[in-house]
Structure 1
C-alpha cells in the first residue's frame, strides 16, 4: 500500500507524550495566570514504520520562549546536533531505525495551526524527510476525551510557507482514558517537585561548579587553559581534552598555546625529579637506597595530592546527592538546564582523569 507521506498517520508513545506535557505545563497551566503563559519547543525522536506510519518514541524539551513564539540560540542548535549524534549511535547499538523525526511545540490557548514562522521551522524537518511531523500541545484543549495534542504537516512542502497545513491522524500506544489517568498523576508530581529540582540545579551551578570546582581548579589546577582565554574555565577547554588525556607531559610545547596551572607544573616537575633519582639508583643497583627514597618520595607526593583528592571526592559526593534528587525529573529539563549538569560533569571528568593519572604516577612504579 502506497501512502502519501504528507498524510501518513502518527503513533505517539506515552513516554513521549508524558515528556512533552511534563515540560509544557511548567510554563502554561490552569494554575498560572494566562499573561504568564509561555510557548515551549522540543524535538521528536522516532521511526518510520514500513513507509506507512510514523512512530514518535521521545519528545525532548529544548527551549522556552515567550507568549507566542520561541527564539533559538546557538547552544540550542549545538544541543540538537549532540542529540542527533547520540540518537544515531543508540540506533546502531540497539539495531533500530530511530532518528529525529520532527519537532513539537505548544500553543497555550491558541489550538492547532501553523503560523508562518511554524511553517519555516517545519520545512526544516519535512523537506529532507517527507514523513517529518510536528506535534502541537495546547493544555486548554485537553479534557477527558482529548489529550490536547495534534499532529500536523504541510500539504505541499515544495510550496514553502505558501503551503497549507493539515492535521493528520494521531494514534496512541495506550487508550486515552489510561493516558489521562497516568498523565494527571505525573503532572501533579512535576508541579509539586519542580521548584525543588530547580533549586538543586542552581546549587550545582553556583555552589558545586562556580565555588567548588573553580576553587579546586584555581588552587589545585590540573587542566590546561587556552591562552586565548586564560580564565579558570572556558567553553573551548574541550579542545585540549586529548592533550590532557594522552598524558604526555611536554611543558615547553604546552606553554606555546596553553597556560599551565602552577600546581600541575609543580607536581609534574617533582615526579620527574624523583623518577630520575630512582632511575639512577636502579642503575647503580643500590636497592636499599632505592627502596628508602621511593618510600619517602611516595609519601611526599601523596601528601601533595591529598587535598585535591579530598576536595574532588567531597564535591563529587555532593553532586551525586543532588543528581539522585534531580534524576526522576530529568526528562522535563530543557537545553539550558541539562547543560548545567553536562558542563559540571565534563569539567569534573577531565579533572578526575588527570588526577587519577597523577595518583598512579605518584606510586613511582619504575621498570628496572
Structure 2
C-alpha cells in the first residue's frame, strides 16, 4: 500500500510523551499564572516503519522560549548535532533505523496550528524527510479523553510557508486512560522535585565548576591550553590533542603552542630529572643508591600529587551525590541544563586522565 508521507499516521510511545509533557509542564501548567507561561521546543527521535507509519520513540527537550515562541542559540544547534550523532551510533549498535524524525513544541493555550515561524522550522524536517512530523502539546487541551497533543505536517512542503498544515492521525502504544493515569503521577513527581533538581544543577555550576574545578586548575593545573594568539598550527599538533597525556615531556617545544600550568610543568620536570638520575644509576649498576633514591623521589612526587588527588576526589564525590539526585529527572532537562553536567564531565575527565598518568609516572618504574 502506497501512503502519502504528508498524511502518514504517527504512533507516539509513552516514553516520548512522558518526556515531552514532563518538560512542558515546567513552564506552563494550571498552577502557574498564564502570563508566566512559556513555550518550549524539542526534537523527536524515531523511525519510519515500512514507509507507511512514523514511530516516535523519544522527545528530547532542547530550549525554553517566551510566551510568543522560541529562539534558537548556537549551543542548541551544537547539542542537536551531538544528539544526531549519538542516535546514529546507537542505531548502528542496536541494529535499528532510528533518527531525528521531527520536532515538538508547545502552544500553551493556543491549541494546534502552524505559525509562519513554525512552518519555516518544520520545512527543515519535512523537506529532507517527507515523513518528518511535528508534535504540538497544549496542556489546556489535555483532559480525560485527550492527551493534549496533535501531530502536524505541511500538505505541500514544496510551497514553503504558503503551504497549509494538516493534523494527521496520532495513535499511542497504550490506551489514553492508562497514559493519563501514568502521566498524572509523573507530573506530580516532577512538579514536586524539579525545584530541588534546579538547585542541584546550580550547585554543580557555581560550586563544583566555578569554584572547585577552577581552584583545582589554578593551584594544581594540568591541562595544556592552546594559545589564543596562535595563527598557525601544524596538522599533527591538531590531531594530537592527547599532548596533555604525553609521556615525553618537552617544555620548550610545548611552550611554542601551549600555555603550560606551573604545577604541571614543575612536576613533569621533577619526574624527568628523577628518571635521568635513576637511569644513570641503573647504567652504573649502583643498586643500593638506585633503590634509596627511587624511594626518596617517589615520596617527593607523591607528596606533590597528594593535594590534587584529594581535591579531585572531594569534588568528584560531591558530583556523584548531586547526580544521584538529578538522574531520575534527567529526561526533563534541556540543552542548557544538560550542558552544565557535560561541561563538568569534560573538564574533570580530562583532568583525571592526566592525573592518573602522572600518578603512574610518579611510581618511577624503570626497566633494569
Give the structure-1-normalised TM-score: 0.97
**For residues 246 and 280 of structure 1, do their structure 2 counterparts lie closer, same or farther at Cα, with a shift above 3 Å needed?**
closer
The alpha carbon displacement at 1:247 in A equals: 4.3
Whole-angstrom distance in 2 between the partners of 1:36 and 1:235: 51
**For residues 44 and 232 of structure 1, do their structure 2 counterparts lie closer, same or farther at Cα, with a shift above 3 Å needed?**
farther
Query: Is the CA contact 1:214–1:232 (under 8 Å) kept in the aligned structure 2?
Result: no
Question: Once the two structures are superposed, what CA deviation does each residue of 1:177-199 show, in whole Å capped at 9, x if it has no partner?
Answer: 00000000000000000000000
Q: Indicate the RMSD between aligned Cα atoms, in angstroms.
A: 2.9
**For residues 24 and 236 of structure 1, do their structure 2 counterparts lie closer, same or farther at Cα, with a shift above 3 Å needed?**
farther
The alpha carbon displacement at 1:225 in A equals: 1.7
**For residues 311 and 231 of structure 1, do their structure 2 counterparts lie closer, same or farther at Cα, with a shift above 3 Å needed?**
farther
Please, which runs of 5 or more residues in structure 1 have no aligned partner? none
Query: Is the CA contact 1:19–1:331 (under 8 Å) kept in the aligned structure 2?
Result: yes
Query: Is the CA contact 2:134–2:151 (under 8 Å) kept in the aligned structure 1?
Result: yes
Query: Is the CA contact 2:249–2:272 (under 8 Å) kept in the aligned structure 1?
Result: no
Question: Once the two structures are superposed, what CA deviation does each residue of 1:189-225 show, in whole Å capped at 9, x if it has no partner?
Answer: 0000000000000000000110000000000000012
The alpha carbon displacement at 1:240 in A equals: 7.4
Question: Once the two structures are superposed, what CA deviation does each residue of 1:146-175 show, in whole Å capped at 9, x if it has no partner?
Answer: 000000000000010000000000000000
Query: Is the CA contact 1:46–1:58 (under 8 Å) kept in the aligned structure 2?
Result: yes
The alpha carbon displacement at 1:232 in A equals: 22
Whole-angstrom distance in 2 between the partners of 1:246 and 1:96: 39
**For residues 237 and 347 of structure 1, do their structure 2 counterparts lie closer, same or farther at Cα, with a shift above 3 Å needed?**
farther
**For residues 92 and 17 of structure 1, do their structure 2 counterparts lie closer, same or farther at Cα, with a shift above 3 Å needed?**
same
Partner secondary structure for residue 69 of structure 1: coil
Whole-angstrom distance in 2 between the partners of 1:292 and 1:137: 72
Aligned residues: 368
Query: Is the CA contact 1:46–1:54 (under 8 Å) kept in the aligned structure 2?
Result: yes
Whole-angstrom distance in 1 between the partners of 2:106 and 2:131: 20
**For residues 232 and 42 of structure 1, do their structure 2 counterparts lie closer, same or farther at Cα, with a shift above 3 Å needed?**
farther
Give the structure-2-normalised TM-score: 0.97
**For residues 73 and 224 of structure 1, do their structure 2 counterparts lie closer, same or farther at Cα, with a shift above 3 Å needed?**
same
Do residues 244 (structure 1) and 244 (structure 2) align? yes
The alpha carbon displacement at 1:47 in A equals: 0.4
**For residues 344 and 276 of structure 1, do their structure 2 counterparts lie closer, same or farther at Cα, with a shift above 3 Å needed?**
same
